[in-house]
Structure 1
Amino acid sequence: MNRKVELFVPCFIDQLYPETAFNTIKLLEKAGCEVIYNSEQTCCGQPAYNAGFWDEAKEIGSKFLKDFSEEHYIVSPSASCVGMVKYSYNDLFTNSTEHNSCRNIQRNIMEVSDFLVNVLKKEYFGAELVGTGVYHDSCSALRECKIKEEPRRLLAQVGGLELVEMRDQETCCGFGGTFSIKFDGISSAMAEQKVRHAQTVNADYIISTDASCLLQLQAYIDKHNIPIKTLHLVDVLTSGWANI
């Protein structure tokens, strides 16, 4: 199969985890896709939308709708940004001049694990990562995009990785965008709880499909010198390829 897909790289990954973006391309190509990347793309508008600046969010969203086509799947390594486009754009573009193009793009945009498992029907990519890992369900993936089993099915195929569940699996990490700024104490306590639960099951890795969650948890880990590493799902699925 040679399916054309368009790649949407979220701001967090573009600025802080660029290697994850490159690994997403490698992963999609290994899955048999031709990856199209529009270098003019920017933000989906989520930060402005969440802060209540809907006019500004609509302006950014209008650019997003122009930067991507309506013909191909749009794949992103971020459930948070996918959820923004797929659902929150309803608040911005319903009954607007962009209504139809918005609906078409909403139908086509998918988080990467959802796309691999449910569209391409592929779960094994020859990845290897030795250690014990826990998967952190981001709020956007679990509650908004209804993604739960897809990442776990992919991780179950990673050689050397023992995937275990931790207590309060579905609890938020405490990031929540501006929540972590406005309610710093609560946010830090939530991160601490998540990391401690990972420690309890002797996890070497905390894995997620949202870079913002990983940033939140890694900050707590680094501050307290805890021997756990956060990893994006895509980086796990492309690990160990050089050894194959």
Structure 2
Amino acid sequence: MTDTKASDRPRVGLFATCLVDLFRPNVGFASVRLLEQAGCSVEVPKGQTCCGQPAYNNGDLDDARGLARQTIDAFRDCDYLVAPSGSCLGQIRKYPDLFDADEPLRGDAERLAARSWELFAFLVDVRGMGAVSAEFKHTVTYHDSCSGLRQLGVRSQPRALLGSVEGLKLTEMEDTDVCCGFGGTFCVKYPDISQRLVDDKSDRIADSGADTVLAGDLGCLMNIAGRLRRRGVPVRAYHAAEVLAGMTDGPAIGEEG
């Protein structure tokens, strides 16, 4: 796909997400590299901001609608919207529900939702990517985020790509599909439940024997990495896009600064 003519390349707008923008820009750069390897022309629309999920989950539908309008306008001219986060992408797929059937923006929201994809699903299911040129000589385990798995059906796609990484050994943890306890504002509303969930998750990660944990959502990874560090579990955390793009030379998640 690397020899695709520029005129034939789909225009992909990268939805960078708040957490990537503020805490882990390397995930955004890795996403761009992978999308370009898949033969896409990538841009990062300047008008984008939060997907609106915190407002939506807390019942503030007016603000959620406002953020949806902003996202719709920012990505109007892109062939696809792609996000390295099942959580944010799941919210964007809900945009049509924020507008009444007779509102003009309802159709725009439906069209954007239809052309919006989680990163790994887009690479594998839309662009047909089957392998990457990357090396990562570590034993890893993979955490399936709730939104990516249950809302979007993202499970096999990242594993298929990780299987092509030279030196990487994947060992599945028990309960890989169980919540890590982050859940956006869930960890603020229900801290005791959240901590129990991430403690269980860190135990499963340690039991797997892996030295690295990967996932496709930065919120999950920040929560997991922080808890592993506080409990003294010597397991590093990376977004899977960083491994697939060969961009793991810097500090792991939670080790910055």
1:110-131 alpha-carbon deviations (Å, 9 max, x no partner): 0110011011111211111111
2:39 aligns with one of 13, 32, 43: 32
Aligned to 1:93: 99
**2:118 aligned partner, one-letter code:** E
Say if 1:220 and 1:40 are closer, same or farther in 2 by CA, change over 3 A. same
CA offset at residue 71 of structure 1? 5.0
CA offset at residue 93 of structure 1? 1.9
Give the Cα separation in 1 of the matches to 2:76 and 2:247: 34
Aligned to 1:175: 182
1:151-177 alpha-carbon deviations (Å, 9 max, x no partner): 110111111111111111211000111
Equivalent position SS for 2:81: strand
Aligned to 2:87: 80
Contact 1:127 1:241 in 2 (8 A): no
Give the Cα separation in 2 of the matches to 1:70 and 1:32: 18
1:150 aligns with 2:150: no
Q: CA RMSD in A?
A: 1.5
1:156-200 alpha-carbon deviations (Å, 9 max, x no partner): 111111111111121100011111011112111111111111111
Contact 1:72 1:108 in 2 (8 A): yes
**1:123 aligned partner, one-letter code:** G
Give the Cα separation in 2 of the matches to 1:241 and 1:145: 27
Contact 1:70 1:101 in 2 (8 A): no
Contact 1:73 1:108 in 2 (8 A): yes
Give the Cα separation in 2 of the matches to 1:198 and 1:125: 25
1:221 aligns with 2:219: no
CA offset at residue 106 of structure 1? 0.6
CA offset at residue 240 of structure 1? 6.2
1:198 aligns with one of 174, 196, 205: 205
Equivalent position SS for 2:167: strand
CA offset at residue 70 of structure 1? 5.4
Aligned to 1:67: 74
Give the Cα separation in 1 of the matches to 2:230 and 2:58: 28
Please list every run of 5 or more consecutive structure 2 residues that lacks an aligned counterpart in the other structure: 250-257
Please list every run of 5 or more consecutive structure 1 residues that lacks an aligned counterpart in the other structure: none
**1:37 aligned partner, one-letter code:** V
Give the Cα separation in 2 of the matches to 1:85 and 1:241: 29
Aligned to 1:119: 126
Contact 2:18 2:49 in 1 (8 A): yes
CA offset at residue 43 of structure 1? 1.1
Task: With the length of structure 2 as denominator, give the TM-score of the two structures.
Answer: 0.90
2:16 aligns with one of 5, 9, 12: 9
Aligned length: 241
CA offset at residue 241 of structure 1? 9.2
Give the Cα separation in 2 of the matches to 1:54 and 1:198: 37
CA offset at residue 202 of structure 1? 0.6
